[in-house]
Structure 1
Amino acid sequence: MKRILWALTLATLLLALVGCGAGNIYGAWQAQAMDGLVFEFEKDGGFSVRQPDDPGNVLRGSYTLVGEAGIEILLEGGEERFSGTYAIASGELVLILSGERQYFSRYRG
């Protein structure tokens, strides 16, 4: 019985660390570096990046979630594509794209 409880606890923790599915990534996230850029993931697969103080200057594209924790981002025009992984835990988003780790918190602007 203890082994089953331990396995369930571990499985729950692992699900929390990988974002527990795609739904948690939706919404706006502000980078803790990169000049505070705001990344927004829409439910329909739309993606945008903007400066928080310049809402008119927006870079658009699309994203696709792959498996449990994979993500692909394609910028408008199709010239730039980024692949990597993501995880959401304790209210933070961690994106690892092209080998670089970036940390985000929910945007409250």
Structure 2
Amino acid sequence: MGNEDRCLQHVDLSVVREGPQLSYNQRKNLIAPIQEKEIYEALHDVGDSKAPGVDGYSAKLFKTCWNIVKQDLVKAICYWFKHNTMYKAFNGTLVTLHPKSADAKYLKD
């Protein structure tokens, strides 16, 4: 995942203590429960054909069927934020190789 950096800078605590800091309201907003509106906006920031799951469903399906899936999806996402755990199947990954040409014979193709 990249090269190891042997010259990492340390955190300058004086800058942390004396530099700009978040206001009380800004800090409070960072830990506020997630809202349906935020989930809806995040979904609409994903391209329609981006990141289909192992079931083949892309963001377009969830956008199109929002009124049907909204309640379950919001409930699952809020549960994840509150309990820091999710249904195992949500975290599954499937890697699919797509050939660059019709006569692909090697992995690089």
Would you call these one fold, judging by a TM-score over 0.5? no
TM-score normalised over the length of structure 1: 0.30
Q: Which has the higher strand share?
A: 1
TM-score normalised over the length of structure 2: 0.30
Q: Which has the larger Rg? A: 2
